[in-house]
Amino acid sequence: MMDEMKAPPYDQFPGIAVCPTGPTQENPGYVPDEYPGKEGIVMPPTAPPLEMPPQGERMPLVDLGTLSDQDVREACRQFVSEHCCYGRRFIRDTLLPEIFNGCIYHYQLETFGEKRETVDRHEPFKGQYIDGPQNGIPPQPWDIQVPILSLFINSQVKVEIPHTAYVKQCGRCVGNCRVRCESCYGRGGSSCISCNGMGRRDGQQCTSCFGTGRRRCWNCSGSGQVKCGTCDGRGNLRHFKLLLVTWTNHVESYITHTFKLPKHLILEASGKEIFQEENPRVFPINHARDDSVNEASKIMIQKHSTAFPQELIRQQRIPSRVFFSRELLEEQTEN
Ligand SMILES: [Zn+2]
Ligand SMILES: [Zn+2]
Ligand SMILES: [Zn+2]
């Protein structure tokens, strides 16, 4: 019974690599993570590294059991009932001389990392309170308490760093509150295109410019200047430092073999969870029946321990699932 459950050796499935060795597409069992873009000055993690928790008692891997002749026919009946016009006769007539229980293992490693960046920001100064260095030394980015919004979900929060604010004259308008109008280049208007600036056309007063020969700029009403948008016409800016905290869940998957099933279907299917562990750091599994899963676990955890040098690892988890291979059963029934 136990031998029937064991997945066939991998060299029987050409093109399926044994385990991932890095972020490469060559291995069909490897699903790479997506890396987000960068912004600001990244602060390398300076928080003290977490103590490795002692490896506790492991949850045993759940046995999938085996499918009987009756189970297979019931599964086919279920499949047929979900599709109109599918016949049922083959379910009764097909002979099942031997049922081979194939398994697909999906091992997943999730590393939830936190990145901290600082960026300079400014806004119009409208007399708001200024929390500057006179109130104390600004804290270091990794010393600021920022609660995690939700574990294993990508998110970002922005926090103003205390005691970093100061007021400075607006550099764009040099404190004048107004800047040159870009629509008329500061001229306040342009010559009338209907009369070429003459004021008269065909011996009559030009109706477009009422004889002035000029058209007033719509943007600045002829003054040649507009309100400075940088300081909102205030002349001064409040500068401060902003802390961007970005949480990224790095997900990597290893699928033993797919029996011709598209990988995305396996990733979307619920399957049966046979193992789940969550800790600030997880240990490689070593008790999967399939040795390549144990090996993949070891390599992926090792890789993740150094793959995100700008992030502090907050939590890791390793959900693992297993699926029966329907494809294999169908091949058996055709023979
Ligand atoms: Zn300004
Ligand atoms: Zn005119
Ligand atoms: Zn203008």
**pLDDT tens-place string over residues 113-157:** 999 999 999 999 999 999 999 999 999 999 999 999 999 999 999
d(CA 243, CA 119): 7
Task: Considering every ligand atom shown, identify the ligand nearest to the alpha carbon of residue 211 and give its number.
Answer: 2
Task: Considering every ligand atom shown, identify the ligand nearest to the alpha carbon of residue 187 and give its number.
Answer: 3
At residue 55 the predicted structure's pLDDT band, cuts being 50, 70 and 90, is low
Asked if the model's pLDDT at residue 280 lies above 80, the reply is yes
**pLDDT for 63:** 56
Hey, is 291 helix, strand or coil?
A: helix
Nearest CA among 149, 152, 142, 154 for reference residue 312: 142
Instruction: Count Cα atoms within 13 angstroms, Cβ side, for 96.
Output: 17
Ligand 3 centroid from CA 188, angstroms: 5
Ligand 3 centroid from CA 23, angstroms: 55
β-partners of residue 110 are 251, 317
Distance from the first to the final alpha carbon of the chain: 22
Question: Cβ–Cβ contacts within 10 Å for residue 247, how many?
Answer: 22
Ligand 3 centroid from CA 228, angstroms: 13
- DSSP H helical ranges for 82-136: 89-93
At residue 88 the predicted structure's pLDDT band, cuts being 50, 70 and 90, is confident
Task: Considering every ligand atom shown, identify the ligand nearest to the alpha carbon of residue 170 and give its number.
Answer: 1
pLDDT in tens, 210-265: 999 999 999 999 999 999 999 999 999 999 999 999 999 999 988 887 666 777 77
The pLDDT of 42-56, averaged and rounded, is 64
Contact yes or no for 124/229 (Cβ under 8 A): no
Map tokens 């509150």 to a residue.
177
Ligand 1 centroid from CA 117, angstroms: 27
Higher per-residue pLDDT: 216 or 80: 216
Question: What rounded mean pLDDT belongs to the chain?
Answer: 79
Nearest CA among 105, 72, 107 for reference residue 296: 107
Higher per-residue pLDDT: 271 or 202: 202
Ligand 2 centroid from CA 225, angstroms: 23
Our measurement of the distance from residue 43's CA atom to the centroid of its chain's CA atoms, rounded to an integer in Å, reads 20
> pTM for this structure?
0.68
Task: Considering every ligand atom shown, identify the ligand nearest to the alpha carbon of residue 213 and give its number.
Answer: 2
- DSSP H helical ranges for the chain: 2-5, 69-81, 89-93, 263-268, 291-307, 326-334
Ligand 3 centroid from CA 213, angstroms: 17
**pLDDT for 324:** 61
pLDDT in tens, 17-42: 333 333 333 333 333 333 334 456 77
pLDDT in tens, 304-334: 999 999 999 999 999 887 766 544 344 444 4
**pLDDT for 327:** 43
Asked if the model's pLDDT at residue 10 lies above 70, the reply is no
d(CA 38, CA 314): 20
**pLDDT for 96:** 67
Hey, is 194 helix, strand or coil?
A: coil
- Of the ranges 14-18, 42-46, 72-76, 201-205, which is most confident? 201-205
Question: Cβ–Cβ contacts within 10 Å for residue 91, how many?
Answer: 16
Task: Considering every ligand atom shown, identify the ligand nearest to the alpha carbon of residue 222 and give its number.
Answer: 3
Task: Considering every ligand atom shown, identify the ligand nearest to the alpha carbon of residue 216 and give its number.
Answer: 3
Task: Considering every ligand atom shown, identify the ligand nearest to the alpha carbon of residue 179 and give its number.
Answer: 1
Question: Cβ–Cβ contacts within 10 Å for residue 210, how many?
Answer: 11
Contact yes or no for 142/281 (Cβ under 8 A): no
Dihedral pair phi/psi, residue 253, rounded to 5°: -120, 150
